[in-house]
Structure 1
Amino acid sequence: MKKIEEEIQQKKFKSAHQKALVNFLYTSNWLHYKQQEFFKPYGITGQQYNILRILKGQHPKSISATEIKSRMLDRNSDVSRLLDRLELKNLIIKKTSTADKRATDVFITEQGLELLKAIAKKEELVDEMFNITEEEALLLSDLLDKCRS
């Protein structure tokens, strides 16, 4: 296990808080890269996976593009572009809302559900990637929640 000092070749930090922040940002980028590698064989991105998971939670009902954006992990995402790409892959269906002609209702397709099932079979790889126990994962999650409070 390499410490953050070794990873970025910096021996000293101004404070423990600065070290934690640098470590958090470095690890966030590392996780983003690992996520890209994980989803590449499935032909989707992490953001597209996030949308598919949101849609699965609504299935068989639809959800608006605006509501999808509000639930996404990365709220800076261009949801319209992501939905267009998922539609081209036949993973979702977009329909003009009957209640509001300016809005779009989005549904996950059977192909989208099947893709999520295939990905779920490999989720243990994600657990292994973290290299921490279940108890440590809960503690980490609690600490991250505390950071945002």
Structure 2
Amino acid sequence: MPIPPLDLDAIQARADAATPGPWRATDDDDTWRMHGTHPRIPGMKWQILKAPKANTPYAEYWPSPADAEFIVQARQDVPALLARVQELETELHRERAAHSSTIDERDRAAHYADRLAAALAPIDVRGEHSIGNCPWMAALNYADESTPDGGPQ
């Protein structure tokens, strides 16, 4: 199943709008908390989330320690992944451009090789391009056989 395209700009905008990191998850006897860095005061702890552990119907919905770790690490992971995707997309663009250039050069070379082969030998000698036949080699062999010493003219 193909992966749907990502809206990297929207992901970046959400990451930029979120509370600055790093994030931390903490808990005590009564409460779970998640903190980031204050958006306007660097280094100051900023509470993102607070949930009671008991005496509410929602206490059981706090994430497991592994899920809490995943959430807090996402603050650093998402921007790092976005940067890596951008780097790979830039590299892919360069490779596609180079590949396209290589294909164009190959096609031009094949065109000129076909013209040279046509100048050296008639079509019934060259034949067509196929798995078993290379018209370029056939034309070169014909040219070699056409010279008095069997070598280049």
- The bucket for the TM-score relative to the shorter chain is under 0.3
**Higher relative CO (CA 8 A, sep ≥ 6), structure 1 or 2?**
1
TM (normalized to structure 1)? Answer: 0.25
TM norm structure 2:
0.24
Flag the structure with higher helix content. Answer: 1
The structure whose residues are more often strand, as a share, is: 2
